[in-house]
Structure 1
Amino acid sequence: MKTYQITLLAGDGIGPEIMGVARAVLAQVSRNCQFHLNFTAAPFGGQAIDLTGEPLPEATLEQCRASDAILLGAVGGPVWDDHPRRPEQGLLGLRSGLGLYANLRPATVRPQLVAASSLKPEVVTGVDLLVVRELTGGLYFGQPQGIFPEKKGERRGVNTMTYSESEIERISRVAFKSAQSRRKLVTSVDKANVLAVSRLWREVVSRVALDFPDVTLNHLYVDNCAMQLIRWPKQFDVILTENLFGDILSDEAAMLTGSIGMLPSASLGEGPGVFEPVHGSAPDIAGQDRANPLAQVLSAAMLLGYGLQETTAAAQIEQAVARVLDQGYRTGDIMAEGMTQVGCQAMGEKLLLALAEGI
């Protein structure tokens, strides 16, 4: 029987609650599909700051490096706002320490939740897109950066957007390979009419596209893409873009679905991948059994599919989520008239039952 090493970083706020549900779901589906998952929990984020003073202790990073995949819950909260080391710094350290350069964020409008979107049903019905965001370059990491003194006591803030050809090529290949298993369309987003770095981006993406003749490539300026995501989101399959643009566009795409509590993500690169929901730690509802665990559970499905290539198990989780939604069960954030509201733990129990029934 195959055995995989999985590190669990529950983190802060609702993280431990939703992680508990996801762990149970993973354990059940591994039994269904006859492989074994060896779970190891490690401190991360604010929890780790309280224990060690650091959001990403070296022992946690080493544990992650020794794993086949990492499932992350959520980090942050107001209790650490004045701490010199912020929990969110652990995320940047994890990306850097594991060489994670590609962030994959699907935005799928599930038929059971069309009414939850703030857009008209005819606009969002059938939306199924994937944002592929470069994760380790651009304005967030380029040098020089900082706040520098100038003449007459004035200060100047500087961030540098920079990308090398190799950085652009490797993220482009992730996008094109993803498109090959979807609808075979990549939309590369840049600002090539203004930015030199975007002109290089467009040139390299176009060159990489030649290696994927079965995939159609088109280009959009980022402002037009932001508009098109609201106007006609069904035109998109895979959106490929750099770090800053991807940060903004992926959140915009998330809101097409009606609830950020439904959306998973994957961060991939040179080593084991990190899989996490896109929502925050929601400290205002932590410990109240009100959290929606579905984004965490769907992140676990991405872990199986992208991280371990256990695609049958990943599909079982997706099907269990669909079955529970079809049965009318909803957490508070996606509650609608005529549905049955349940808490975090009860939603987990419904998922486990659906997995057992689906064997």
Structure 2
Amino acid sequence: MASYKLFVLPGDGIGPEVMAEVEKIAAFFTQQGIAKFEIEKGLVGGAAYDAHGVSISEDDMKRADAADAILLGAVGGPKWDGVPYDLRPEAGLLRLRKDLVLFANLRPAICYPALADASSLKRELIDGLDMMLVRELTGGLYFGSPKEITDLGNGQKRGVDTQSYETYEIERIGRVAFELARKRRNKVTSCEKHNVMKSGVLWREVIIDLHKREFADVELEHQLADACGMQLVRRPKQFDVIVTDNLFGDLLSDVAAMLTGSLGMLPSASLGAIDAKTGLRKALYEPVHGSAPDIAGKGLANPIAMIGSFGMCLRYSFGLGELADKIETAIATVLAKGLRTADIKGDAPSSISTVQMGNAVLEALRASI
């Protein structure tokens, strides 16, 4: 039985609640002799700040680096609004991405048939949606330098964030998108703002060149990022794989997430490059949703996005694609039975708790194995 080291960072808010449901599934797989998951836990975000005065400790960074994969729940909340900028809960997540070079963020947007009516869009626009947004994660506006607020005197200040990309950064994220498209419907939409941003001009040039050299068999189209946002709510099923930079990816992925009816439904993967010697890659998996402090501790959180993130971990880090398929099928089975947490309740007469949803997915898995 293969053994895998998981470093689990439950984080803040509803993070520990949804992570607990994933731990049940990992324990079940271990008990069944399918795969052994060795789980080690650490702190990130506000929880780490409360314990150590930093958003992630050096020891936990070392453990993250040594793990086969990282699972993260959520970070942040109003409790830490007064924390210095460099120590804010989100800084822990940004450090994990940057230090482990997790440059490729994969965010699928899938509309399960049973939830088509949960979207704010008409059923015919959303039913059958299956797209992947590939976001560059370690460059661009969030990491560019200078990043500062300068006192100009006379009560005036200037805030500066720098958008910066180099050829290799665009090439490697573009390559991820094209390779994914080859396994899907063979279409990539590249998004930038070349009409007003020099980084967008370079982005477009590099993607076009990469396409000509290595991926001419894949259909490529270009859209301005704002136009893409419009098209996502106008005709979302036109997209297969969208690739874009850090800032636009942050915005567009949340739009894509809400197409499906709830942020609580969607997983994500943040991947590094494949190591030429080991064939492995650094990777972090987390739900798209935030820490939702308003419902933390109430048993209302939807664990499906966290469970789906574990499924992506099985697929992309451990090569257990068939097991990941079983998780996706189990989720679809539970939803088809009409079981709903509060966020996807819609017109349903009642909803179930975080634990009940996790148990339902586990029971559907148990029936399939």
TM-score (normalizing by structure 2): 0.94
| Aligned-partner SS, 1:55 | coil
Shift of residue 125 of structure 1?
Answer: 1.2
Match of 2:367 in 1: 357
- How far residue 351 of structure 1 moved from its aligned partner, in angstroms, is 1.2
Question: SS of the counterpart of 2:271?
Answer: strand
Q: Which runs of 5+ in 1 are unaligned?
A: none
SS of 2:294 mapped into structure 1: helix
Contact 2:13 2:76 in 1 (8 A): yes
Q: Which residue of 2 aligns with 1:284?
A: 294
- Is 1:268 the equivalent of 2:278? no
Alpha-carbon separation, structure 2, partners of 1:87 and 1:81: 9
Confirm or deny: 8 A CA contact 1:29 1:355 kept in the other structure.
no
Q: What CA distance in whole angstroms lies between the structure 1 residues aligned with 2:204 and 2:57?
A: 38
Task: Give distance in 1, aligned partners of 2:345 and 2:151.
Answer: 52
Cα deviation for residue 77 of structure 1 reads 1.5
- Matched residues, percent identical? 51
**Cα RMSD over matched residues?**
1.5
| Deviation sequence 1:313-335 (CA, Å, 0-9, x none) | 11111111011111111111111
Corresponding residue for residue 217 of structure 1? 220
Deviation at 1:151, TM superposition (A): 7.6
What is the deviation of 1:145? 2.4
1:54 corresponds to: 54
- Measured in 2, the distance between the counterparts of 1:132 and 1:224 equals 17
Note closer, same or farther for the CA distance 1:80–1:155 as it changes in structure 2 (3 Å cut).
closer
CA–CA distance in 2 between the matches of 1:101 and 1:191? 20
Distance across 1 between alignment mates of 2:193 and 2:226: 8
Unaligned runs of 5+ in 2: 274-280
1:1-359 counterparts in 2 under 5 A? Answer: 1-31=1-31, 34-84=34-84, 85-150=87-152, 154-210=156-212, 211-270=214-273, 271-338=281-348, 340-359=350-369
- Distance between the aligned counterparts of 1:284 and 1:149, measured in 2? 36
Q: How many Å separate the matches in 2 of 1:304 and 1:64?
A: 17
Single out whichever of 321-330 and 21-30 deviates more from structure 2: 21-30
Partner amino acid, structure 1, of 2:47: Q
Contact 1:135 1:242 in 2 (8 A): yes
User: Take 2:164 and 2:7, find their aligned partners in 1: how far apart are those partners?
Assistant: 33
Partners of 2:229 and 2:33 lie apart in 1 by: 41
* Cα contact 2:4–2:38 (8 A) shared by 1: yes
- Write the distance in 1 (CA, Å) between the matches of 2:329 and 2:31: 16
- Which segment drifts farther, 141-150 or 87-96? 141-150
Distance in 1 separating the partners of 2:217 and 2:29? 34
The amino acid of 1:80's aligned partner reads: W
Change (3 A) 1:31 1:184: farther
Q: Aligned AA for 1:242?
A: D
- Structure 2 CA distance for aligned equivalents of residues 73 and 273 of structure 1: 14
Count of matched residue pairs: 359
The Cα shift of 1:28 comes to 2.2
Whole-angstrom CA distance in 2 between matches of 1:180 and 1:339: 42
Query: What SS class does the counterpart of residue 336 from structure 1 fall into?
Result: coil
Give 1:336 shift. Answer: 3.4
Q: Distance in 2 between matches of 1:258 and 1:298?
A: 16
Deviations 1:138-167 (A, max 9, x none): 111112221234486643322221110001
Distance 1:153 1:208, change over 3 A: same
Distance (Å, rounded) in 2 between the aligned partners of 1:128 and 1:5: 30
SS of match in other structure, 2:200: helix
